[in-house]
Amino acid sequence: MARLNVSRMIERIEYLATISATAENGVTRFSFTDQSERANDIVQQWMEEAGMKVHRDGVNNLIGRYEGTDPYSPVLMIGSHIDSVKEGGKYDGVLGVIAGIEVVTQLFEREIRPNRSIEVVAFCDEEGARFHTSLIGSRAMAGQLTDEDLQTADEQGITLSDAMRQVGLDPANYASAKRDPKTVHSYLELHIEQGPILQEENQPCGVVMGIAGALRYNFCILGMAGHAGTVPMSLRKDALTGTAEMMMAIEQIANQYPPLVATVGRLNVQPGVGNVIPGTVVGTLDIRDTDEQRKLQVASEMLSACEQICRQRGLESRFELVTQSPAVRCSPRLVALIENALIKRNIKPLKLQSGAGHDAMAIAGVCDVGMIFVRCKDGVSHHPDEYASPSDIETATEILFDVVLNECIQTSEVN
């Protein structure tokens, strides 16, 4: 008897992908929107069908709890996120939540009660695509969310706390999402790799050793708007050409420190009309590295290079650090459990670093964390073409199931 109902998993992934602000061009499901609430409602229904009691915490994390025989022992938490980037893929985050629900559904359908309770969590706002402050739900659970996080605003000027109110939350309550570490035994997250290594190695899944730390900045470059036809080139304070030189400097510095990566992902040029010299540019800078020290040192090198370019051009630069998450190591104990499950299925136990951020980074502040990566086609992610095959999804969810059985069931065999 197949242990998993993979077609049910695929149907659910496909269904969630239809809940999007954009009808075509991938999935756009920002947190604290109609789309995120509709997604929460259907995921809650699937959790309840799996015998879980479901509640939403102080920041709208959706938490399904499958009671164990010992209600007082710390829980096993399985999670990921169901928000997306703009025009993203179907699998990023969603796959981990659907896989967690599938494993609990299998226990429920077999009337197996784990010794420790299992919680499946759909974290809110992992991506930070709307407010540019990522890991909102998991950082709140780890007690790392701050009042100023709630004051960050989206492009329409709506603050995170306004957006929380719009979905019926009281933002003053966000601190209640903090989890007592004594109540959580360990955390598992299954996620698409969002990179090319598993495909290159022709493996369906692998074990994550660590997750790169991230620094996310908002910046503003102030120059002088002017008439595109009359201001001589030598007298201009063009904020956009200054930003362009800064971006080339950032890229040139990043190229000296692989695997560190740096990205200017958003630029807003003002006033943004063809016959006016850009006076202001507002943008974002995202720097990632698995080496915490080097990440901080290179970030300061990049910011001083930008300041120097602006000085030479008579521009003013303002950089604001919006979120930072330190590089995280996964628990050696959970790495070993995942490796053993891979070996048991004759899969090469590939060890991977994650350049992408995940909720596991924040939850590492609460308990041991482990991650399973699933091969994704050509490593494409944060893009409508993101794809993971049903057989790879099945294999990775089987690995997750094995680790869950090890973590919270006396027997390690369930057929």
Tell me which of Mn ion, ligand HGY, none is bound by residue 357, counting a contact when its beta carbon lies within the kind-specific cut-off of 5 to 8 angstroms: ligand HGY
Nearer to Mn ion, 179 or 358 (CB): 358
* Residue 278 binds ligand HGY, judged by CB under 6 A: no
Given candidates 20, 44, 106, 134, which one binds ligand HGY under the rule CB under 6 A? 134
C-beta neighbour count of 108 within 10 angstroms: 16
Candidates 11-19, 126-134, 248-256, 333-341: pick the segment binding ligand HGY (CB under 6 A).
Answer: 126-134
Nearer to ligand HGY, 126 or 407 (CB): 126
In sequence order, which residues have a C-beta less than 8 Å from that of residue 56 and are 6 or more positions away?
40, 62, 63
* Residue 137 binds Mn ion, judged by CB under 5 A: no
DSSP-derived secondary structure for 258-322: TT-EEE---EEEES--TTEE--EEEEEEEEEES-HHHHHHHHHHHHHHHHHHHHHHT-EEEEEEE
Given candidates 19, 31, 62, 92, which one binds Mn ion under the rule CB under 5 A? 92
In sequence order, which residues have a C-beta less than 8 Å from that of residue 137 and are 6 or more positions away?
31, 59, 60, 61, 81, 121, 123, 124, 125, 126, 177, 359
State the DSSP H helix or E strand holding residue 203, giving kind and residue range, or none if neither: none
* Residue 93 binds Mn ion, judged by CB under 5 A: yes
Nearer to ligand HGY, 126 or 149 (CB): 126
In sequence order, which residues have a C-beta less than 8 Å from that of residue 366 and are 6 or more positions away?
141, 142, 179, 181, 184, 187
* Residue 189 binds ligand HGY, judged by CB under 6 A: no
Nearer to ligand HGY, 81 or 313 (CB): 81
Point out which residues pair with 77 in neighbouring strands: 119, 187
In whole angstroms, how close is the CB of 97 to ligand HGY at the nearest point?
14
Tell me which of Mn ion, ligand HGY, none is bound by residue 134, counting a contact when its beta carbon lies within the kind-specific cut-off of 5 to 8 angstroms: ligand HGY
Nearer to Mn ion, 79 or 93 (CB): 93
Q: Measured between alpha carbons, how far is residue 155 from residues 128, 130, 267, 347 in Å? A: 12, 8, 12, 45
Site for ligand HGY in 341-370 (CB under 6 A): 356-357
* Residue 126 binds ligand HGY, judged by CB under 6 A: yes
Q: For binding to ligand HGY (CB under 6 A), which residues are involved?
A: 126-127, 134, 356-357
